[in-house]
Amino acid sequence: MTHHLAVVAVVFVLTVVMIMSGRGGGNFYVAALVLSGVPMHTASTTSQFILLASALMGAVVFGKARTMSLPLVLFFGGLNASLAFFGGFTAHSFGGTTLEIALAILLAIAGVAMLFPEKQAHKAAVSRFGYWNIQDGDNRYVINVWVAAPLTMATGYFSGMVGISGGSFLVPLMVVGCGVPMRIAVGTATAMLAATAFTGFLGNALHGGFDQALAIPCGAVAVIGGLIGSRLALKTKPKSLKTISGILTIVAAIFMLVKALGDT
């Protein structure tokens, strides 16, 4: 009981911080659960359940504040969610240690990427085939479908497989690659993560690994954390949080890799 309470408390803190920066935090949830002794496949399923709970609450808040782009939610979210199901469904074809090593590598990449500044760039309309021009209020987004689609699909597949959200990559892709304002990217990513988490959770849960005694309390505090985090995000610039998250992600990657190598 004490062990579960400690895990739930950690999940609550992580949820607030991650939702604030538009990153679901699945990499942190999986790392925290695995490092606390939860089997990898159970950790992946539980992480997706936590992501679903927090992202749904965050999407409601961001939606009311109109800080999300519906076309981007449908594009990135649709591709990401569809591949997340297949990632979650095929996760049991790989050993837990393999997934831990893969997650450690992904954590390290995401952590380093978050330490680089995200520069918002204005995009002029592009009329060539494969470029999607979106006019959303006063903002124009130009999506290079040839680049964005495969990257989003790959992120979705791996996200579902290891139980993460993929927000660490999708937010920079929207901001740097599509010129989306940071605040809009955070709200849009949060809405997308709800769909990705649901399909990833479903794919994992079909193979078992859903520990109700652990997942339900974590999901409950994730709802509260998602509410608090999303409200704070509307008042806070996420740049400093992004740096902190990057450092913590790298630390989590190191711990995960050490544990994975110790299990071999």
Instruction: Give the pLDDT confidence score for residue 33 in this predicted structure.
Output: 84
User: Mean per-residue pLDDT for 86-115?
Assistant: 75
Q: Which pLDDT tens digit goes with each residue over 131-188?
A: 888 777 777 778 888 888 888 888 788 777 776 667 667 777 777 667 777 778 778 8
Which residue, among 260, 216, 76, has the nearest Cα to 153 in the 3D structure? 76
Between these two residues, 216 and 95, which has the higher pLDDT value? 216
Instruction: Give the pLDDT confidence score for residue 23 in this predicted structure.
Output: 66
Separation between Cα atoms, residue 116 and residue 149, nearest integer Å? 23
Instruction: Give the pLDDT confidence score for residue 13 in this predicted structure.
Output: 85
Instruction: Give the pLDDT confidence score for residue 235 in this predicted structure.
Output: 76
Instruction: Give the pLDDT confidence score for residue 123 in this predicted structure.
Output: 58
- Please report, for the chain, the start and end positions of each structural domain, with discontinuous segments joined by +: 2-263
DSSP states of 4-72 as a string? HHHHHHHHHHHHHHHHHTT---HHHHHHHHHHTT--HHHHHHHHHHHHHHHHHHHHHHHHHTT-S-HHH
pLDDT band at 238 (very low <50, low <70, confident <90, very high): low
Using the predicted structure, report yes or no on whether residue 252 has a pLDDT greater than 60: yes
pTM listed for this prediction = 0.69
Q: Which pLDDT tens digit goes with each residue over 184-227?
A: 877 888 888 787 778 778 877 777 777 788 888 888 998 898 88
